[in-house]
Structure 1
Amino acid sequence: MHDIRAIRDDPAAFDAALARRGLPPQAASLLAIDERRRESIAAAQEAQTRRNELSKQIGQAKAQKDEVRAEALMADVAALKTRLPQLEEDERAAAAELDTRLAAIPNHPASDVPGGTDEEDNVLVHHWGTPRTFDFPPREHDAIAPALGMDFDTGVALAGARFTLLRGGMARLSRALGQFMLDRLVNDYGFEEVSPPLLVRDEVAFGTGQLPKFAEDLFRTTDGRWLISTAEMSLTNMVRERIMTEAELPLHFAALTPCFRSEAGSAGRDTRGLIRQHQFEKVEMVSITTPEASDAEHERMTRIAEGVLEALDLPYRRMLLCTGDLGFSMARTFDLEVWLPGQQRYREISSCSNGTDFQARRMSARYRAEGEKATRFVHTLNGSGLAVGRTLVAVIENYQQADGSVVVPDILRPYMGGLERLEPR
């Protein structure tokens, strides 16, 4: 959410930031609505002041037994009394129109975010690891995994397209991945483990930017709640409408949850396998911090996600998203893309983003700096640490064997009761 005062102060800078997003200028039309709102406020205040003055004059006229003047003044007061509700309604209508417009405008890209139109313009930051060599043609996960317990047919029979059922060793390996990731965040990096609601209210979805723009990408229940598309929605809103002390910050939250996405815009993409599902599990990181610390925290969170891939010995690369691929609420995002030998390409497995104060303004999440009376908006950051299903895909493809088995990565074996390999049935 943008601050109209900042737009008033520098409308050219606001429009220049929108231009980097490929959006037309909007400052002039926003300021016109704001001016209408402010004029209504000023007129209402002036009318109220005038009404108070006239009320005093009525009392004076009656004290002087000047009934003619008193009646004239009372007529003026009656006219003002009739006009005030309209002025207040004009102000409410202008304020609502302004809020609606501001709520639909994405966050400004950070200054170091490269320009571009789509993922083809994202910038490589670095690689890690060397893709494995195989003495057989590596297969994609959807060719390997059914014999290991990834049951696509039953998932579709139970729930329809883009649902999968995991059974046996495959279900256990998925659980091991989620537990390993969550343990790492909590034990090694000091995140507070949270088990959040999976259903949230409108204002929660609005706070993190899913509403109103992306309503079609969410599932809604019959009682008006929304299934979370990411635990970011619940975790970030833990500080909504709060004023924290600077000493309380930073806050670090982590959760392993199911996530639900209707994927309305992805018809025809990744229709096979586990890459793009309506229901999936993800370990989410959220940090709440001060503006001065948010860039460093963004790097820290990205390195934590990279550390999970390194511990699993999965080759990856870090990409800095361009302006055209940047999420609605985010000022800067690093995508981590893991190497999938079956597909012979890198695929996104984590996004780590700095939302600056954009979500905090929508949630009214603030803090008071030491020694100051005024409050400031916090900065919010989030990242996948990691998407469990896509990590499962990466493990299957990178650890596949010629006989159709999959070796369990060393670091996951304690979570698997010492099991070293998934064997095809």
Structure 2
Amino acid sequence: MLQVAFIRENRADVIKRLEKRNLDASQMIDDVITLDEERRELQTKLDNTLAESNSISKEIGNLFKSGKADEANALKEKTTQLKEDSKVLGEQLNAKAETLNNLLYKIPNVPHESVPNGNSDEDNEEIFIEGDIPKLHDGALPHWELAKKYDIIDFELGNKITGAGFPVYKGKGARLQRALIAYFLDKNTAAGYTEYQLPHLVNEASGFGTGQLPDKEGQMYHVGEDNLYLIPTAEVPGTNIFRDELLSEKDLPIGITGYTPCFRREAGSYGAHVRGLNRLHQFDKVEIIRVEHPDNSYKAFEGMIDHVKDILKELKLPYRILRLCGGDVTFASALTYDFEVFSTAQDRWLEISSVSNFETFQANRLKLRFKNKDGKTQLCHTLNGSSLALPRVLAGILENYQTEDGIKIPEVLIPYTGFNKI
């Protein structure tokens, strides 16, 4: 959530930067400023009314002590009216603050100055590419055919048990999935991230804290009876660890990692481009999350990029990095880089990681602050990244490592799988 003071002081710049999202936010921004002025006027009136009531109460006490009961009783009628006025002003103030907050919740984060203009993923900017695309044998198969051929992932069984988008991993497929999770966690903890096991359901406050609500409400699975949401990513429970926390500057930086299943309704996703593991309703992901001092967050962002690069180098998968354009960057993010792995059998790039800096946007919603060396309170910066999302990494391994007589296992994973070939 954007800070009101930031909006007031940078009105024109906020409107201009939100235009990168193809959003004309001028009316919303002006409404925020107007509502804030009205809220402050009500606060001043309430403060003055309470101050007057307190002053008169003291005067009444002095009059009673001086034996001037009639004058004191006359003033008591005025304090009664002032108390009633205070109650009305308090209700008006709360209503105005709620209206202001509801509007602020609808305004996305302002994009970083480096975010390119654009309307969709077609306008994203390729900034890095590495790795050799393998030459496959004649008759090479996409991963959903390989999964069936080697009996390692059963999409039809998942459809029977639950529905489309809920695959069942079997035998060496399940073992390879587990190996990837363990490898990612080991890489992350070796880099200084503390491992957490996190809840798979969150409350409404957690959804609002990281920006999934109200923006992505329709994409989340909702347990109505308990008003809980299945997590779309470990970012949500992981970042909400720090909700309503006042940290010390010496506590920063904080880095955590965790493996969770992720649940996304993915409403409206159909077609050949979402076959197999390309688009799922339930999938596994290992996440990295950072809480940073504002002065250090972009250095930390680059460190996260290098960390994901290192994993993909060890897996020996060809990949590229995209800087997302304004029309594709997520609601809460100021800057996002996507990693994509090349699927040789599908002849297309598959997104396997997003690394984002949210600056103070999530921290303001979360009330996540720290005290600096001068004793002043500041909002932290939050960042997160996939390290990594498993389905498309697994698809990339199955397709790029396939041979005529089986699927090789990346060398770095063999200690985790216990086998070197499917």
Instruction: Name the residue aligned to 1:162.
Output: 165
- Structure 1 equivalent of residue 107 of structure 2: 105
Specify the SS of the correspondent of 2:352: strand
- 1:388-407 equivalences under 5 Å are 388-403=390-405, 405-407=406-408
Distance 1:271 1:340 in 2: 13
- 3-state SS, counterpart of residue 359 of structure 2: coil
Moved more, 214-223 or 116-125: 214-223
The answer to whether 1:216 aligns with 2:218 is yes
Measured after TM superposition, the shift of residue 226 of structure 1 is: 1.6
- Distance, in Å, in 1 between the alignment partners of 2:321 and 2:42 is 51
Amino acid aligned to 1:415: Y
The aligned length equals: 417
Taking a change above 3 Å as real, the CA distance of residues 251 and 269 of structure 1, as seen in their structure-2 partners, is: farther
Which sits farther off after the overlay, 246-255 or 335-344? 246-255
Describe how 1:182-197 pairs up with structure 2 within 5 A. 182-187=185-190, 189-197=191-199
3-state SS, counterpart of residue 323 of structure 1: coil
Structure 1 SS opposite 2:286 = strand
Amino acid at match of 1:133: K
| TM-score, reference length from structure 1 | 0.94
Distance 1:96 1:18 in 2: 23
Equivalent residue for 2:281, pick from 278, 281, 288: 278
Where do 1:343-354 residues align within 5 Å? 343-354=346-357
Please tell me the residue identity of whatever aligns with 1:31: I
Structure 2 unaligned spans of 5+:
none
* Structural RMSD (CA): 1.8
User: 1:70 Cα deviation (Å)?
Assistant: 5.0
Q: Distance in 1 between matches of 2:266 and 2:174?
A: 24
1:245-256 residue pairs with structure 2 within 5 A? 245-256=248-259
Q: 1:342-381 residue pairs with structure 2 within 5 A?
A: 342-370=345-373, 372-381=374-383
Which residue, out of 80, 83, 86, partners 1:84? 86
C-alpha distance in 2 between matches for 1:109 and 1:265:
27
Q: Which AA in structure 1 matches 2:177? A: S
- Do 1:360 and 1:380's aligned partners in 2 also have CA atoms closer than 8 Å? yes
Asked whether 1:172 is paired with 2:141, we answer no
Question: Corresponding residue for 2:269?
Answer: 266
Matched, 1:206 2:208: yes
- The one-letter code sitting in structure 2 at the alignment partner of 1:275 is N
Judge conservation of contact 1:162–1:271 (CA < 8 Å) in 2: no
1:16 CA displacement: 1.8
SS in 2 for 1:229: coil
SS at match of 1:299: helix
Distance 1:269 1:104, change over 3 A: farther
Change (3 A) 1:253 1:60: closer
Structure 1 residue 181: Cα displacement: 1.3
Shift of 1:82: 2.0
Deviation at 1:225, TM superposition (A): 1.8
1:410 corresponds to: 411
**One-letter amino acid of the structure 2 residue matched with residue 367 of structure 1:** F
- Alpha-carbon distance, 1:285 to partner: 0.6
Cα shift at 1:64: 6.4
Instruction: Find the partner of 1:123 among 122, 125, 128.
Output: 125
Moved more, 156-165 or 233-242: 233-242
- Aligned equivalents of 1:252, 1:54: Cα separation in 2: 54
Q: Taking structure 2 as the reference length, what is the TM-score of the superposition? A: 0.94
Q: CA deviation at 1:256?
A: 1.4
Q: CA deviation at 1:107?
A: 1.0
Aligned to 2:33: 31
- Cα distance change of structure 1 residues 393 and 94 upon mapping to structure 2, 3 Å threshold: same
- Residue 98 (structure 1) shift: 0.7
Cα distance change on mapping 1:66 and 1:144 into 2, 3 Å: closer
Q: What secondary structure, in the 3-state scheme, does the structure 1 residue paired with 2:14 have?
A: helix
Percent same amino acid among aligned pairs? 37
Deviations 1:242-287 (A, max 9, x none): 2222222111111111111111243457442011111110010111
Instruction: State the one-letter code of the partner of 1:217.
Output: Q
Q: Which residue of 2 aligns with 1:114?
A: 116
SS in 1 for 2:36: helix
